[in-house]
Structure 1
Amino acid sequence: MGHLRQIFLFLVSIFIISTSYSQIEISGQVFDDQDEKLIGATVMVSKDSVSSILAYGISDANGKFKIAVNNESDVLFLKVSYIGFGTFKKTIQNKAQTLEVKLSPSSESLKEVIVKSEILRQRGDTLSFSIAAFKGKNDRVIADVLKKIPGIHIRPNGQILYKNEPIQKYYIEGLDLLEGRYNLANNNLSVEAVSKVEILENHQLVRVLDSLEFSDRASINIRLKKDITLSATATAGIGAAPLLWQTKVTPMIFTKKQQAIVTYQSNNTGTDVSGEISNFTIKYAGVNFDIDKKDWLSIQKVLVPPFSPERWLDNNVHLGSVNILQRI
């Protein structure tokens, strides 16, 4: 038994050591060319110059920053930006280190500098990400870009996680139109209509409790480009065997006082449209329960085949949904 205990402790120590090495901390300080500390500089770390951001930080009142990175690459790419200054870029070793970054005044035009500076901004517990900085040429709806933002993960069923925890609310211009059924907006709102994505960390749902009761949960707020936004997705198709069809129409409108999303979907091609109205939050007696399904009782189902539902689901489905919110 004594030998088994020693072996067990040895294996645990190896695991702890390997885990500790898997995450490193990169710290440093940002200065201008006059050795003045720069407050609010954006610091980003990625695998290389073209990959998604792995971690980010913002320099504090002393120009200092700390970033925890969990990646197995031998090298990392560091990028530091600040309005009015040229962007600092450097390939560094993937190890714990302290850096001193100096930025020089930019010779670029003001317009270009402003666009680069808005990749990430922080105000209190709110992180604001520029959509233009993450949008690719093949991105069509907001979900395509949202999954690229650091800290955000979207499950196959559409549920959004921030730092591995389900989000509380999905706001559009500060309004909760869909109350947990945010797939309708996330999968249909055009990315061209969105300017920023705000992550509201430590978001307290009840405003009067904001300074009294701490919340460790986050919410998302979608900021639109225009005061009046019209957006829509529409697809239609027809085929053989003997008659196959697929239709989807989702118009939406957002103003300062009113929001509305209407959808009609129909198909017999095996596409499961129920995910569009999945409710990821149930509110009962003031308590929120985040779940992956909304049915408490159900009939035992047969095992699902291990391949795409479109290849085995024989359906004939029609889905209609109307969501309207009026600000009083």
Structure 2
Amino acid sequence: MVGWVNGWSKLLPFVGMVVAMMAQSGSNVVIQVAMADGINKYVMVVYSMALSTILLLPFLFFLHSSERPPLTFSVLCSFFLLALFGSLGQIMAYIGIDLSSATLASATLNLIPAFTFVLAVIFRMEVVHWTHYSSQAKVLGTIVSIAGAFIMILYKGPTILKTHLSDSSNKLQFSPQLNWIMGGIFCVGDSLASSMWYIYQASVVKKYPAVTVIVFFQILFSTVQCTVFALIAVRDPREWRVKLDMELIGIVYQAIGATLIRYMLCTWCVFRAGPLFCAMFKPVGIIFTVFMGVIFLGDDFGLGSLIGAVIIVAGFYTVLWGKSRGENNNENLESSCHNAPLLQNTA
């Protein structure tokens, strides 16, 4: 019975991250559809964040009410900085999707495990032993993933799968190739900001272990930050109007699925399993996003995207293998230490 409970407790973070990645992958498609319908990307961020804050507010009074730590100024500053990473990531993701495609945005999210590993090493949350196969696999996987992302961004290649729905008229702000490269750069920036969010999230959750409170203030501060940015970037008042069609559906989905549910699940999973474990699930969403993008959006799927995605996923699973190998070695070391007698017989 105890083994079953332990197995289920280990499975829950896995299920939670799969659901969170599905919500984020669907978000990339919904964003592209809503922006094609005419909504401003920055306005969409503000409205979805504001709606998430309102929906989460009632739960703030019931959850974690007894064991909630005090809200000090330093804690609020931590929430504000955490929200800043999330806001930067969302804004860059919206720009990247607008310039390139939801498929590229989803594929470059696979860089998050690599970036998270590098940041975890920098902040000494991960230790690299150069003579161990596990550490060598993590480093190699990180390099491979980054190389795959550069291939996707710099080499679009001939179209493998094309549908009659494809329309790139809204992406000709510069030229198709330059749009693709610029969009890819912004998508990579989103991955870097997300990695910083995961790393800092781990320290915040340790200091203030109340998931609902963290998520509420994070979304509240993100709403304020994105509103300030949108008021500067969007000067036409007419762009703040929302039509009762795909624009409203996009805002509601972003608020509930991509923001509220994803933030809650990611924060809880970081608390239970750590930042690198959660970052490892980004490649899960690429299959869903590619399918949705090609079938429903008419996105062209190029040879460069296929090659880059395969390389990124290969790098991802190399890092994952290295992490699991390292954890097994640590468990074996701990087991041998526990089984060793306290007093050795040296006679």
Q: Give the shorter-chain TM-score range.
A: under 0.3
Does 1 or 2 have the higher relative contact order (CA < 8 Å, sep 6+)? 2
The structure with the largest strand share of the pair is: 1
Rg bigger for which structure? Answer: 1
The structure with the largest helix share of the pair is: 2
